[in-house]
Amino acid sequence: MGRVHLIGGEKGGVGKSVVSRLLAQYWIDRAIPFRAFDTDRSHPALLRYYSDYSQALDARRMEDLDRIVEALDDSIEEIVVDLAAQTEADFTHWLETGDVIDLLDRLGHPLWYWYVIDDGKDSVRLLSRMLERFEDDCHIVCVVNRGCGRDFMLFEEAKLADRIQQRGGDVIELPELHAGSMLKMDAYDKSFWAAIHNTDELEGPCLTRMERQRARVFIREAHLRFREILNPSTSAP
């Protein structure tokens, strides 16, 4: 049975959509059936870059959120939900009023909560609050986004990594990508794979040879970290 992955962080600009897109590309590269939902009404990145796999959700409507559970079937191995900033309260209400985590457990679909952070104080505060709210109900993955900060002293001082790992969760680092390469890939409005391989300027911004190389390294390193927690039995020692 597949997993349901919530990609959150509550705070805007920490890289939630980048993580969601990387997960989508990870499953596409491995021919793993998945479905994606995008809750961002102003900048729906999954809908823009992975439109063949994604649907829009309005987190304010419980009927919309119900579609996540209704999408679960034997043909779908993974579901990813890109949570826009300030949607955590709506999702928590949906989870609690429907006892959704218990339902997913009984159906054999574990809930994973990927919490993406930058190096700011707000990220540490919001992550701590989320850990108190969810306790041991789901698998927590904290994504330390090096593309949104270099000094994570506040996160380290709060000892949140120990707290997450003690409850069976994971802490991974997302490497930094050269800003110019990311801007061009974002402007292309297609998948990471398509952006890296585009050589037609009429189609959209083209990466230089070295920009393509750096982008490949970035995706490879991110996917290696994903594989280590998603499929630990197949990861290299």
Q: Each residue's pLDDT tens digit in the chain (237 positions)?
A: 689 999 999 888 899 999 999 999 999 999 999 999 999 988 899 999 999 999 999 999 999 999 999 998 878 889 999 999 889 899 999 999 999 999 999 988 999 999 999 999 999 999 999 998 886 789 999 999 999 998 999 999 999 999 999 999 999 999 999 888 899 898 888 899 999 999 998 888 899 999 999 999 999 999 999 999 998 876 554
Q: How do 111-117 and 170-174 pair as beta strands? A: unpaired
What gap in Å lies between CA 77 and CA 32, rounded to an integer?
7
Phi and psi torsions of 212, nearest 5°: -65, -40
What 3-state class would DSSP assign to 114?
Answer: strand
Number of H helices, E strands in the chain: 11, 7
Q: How do 3-8 and 111-117 pair as beta strands? A: parallel
Alpha-carbon radius of gyration of the chain: 17
What gap in Å lies between CA 69 and CA 86, rounded to an integer?
21
Q: Does domain 3-174 have CATH number 3.40.50.300?
A: yes
What 3-state class would DSSP assign to 170?
Answer: strand
What 3-state class would DSSP assign to 186?
Answer: helix
Q: Which two tokens stand for residue 172?
A: 């991974």
Q: Is 114 exposed, middle or buried (0-12, 13-18, 19+ CB in 10 A)?
A: buried
**CA angle in degrees (0–180, nearest 5) for 125-13-198:** 145
pTM for the full predicted model: 0.93
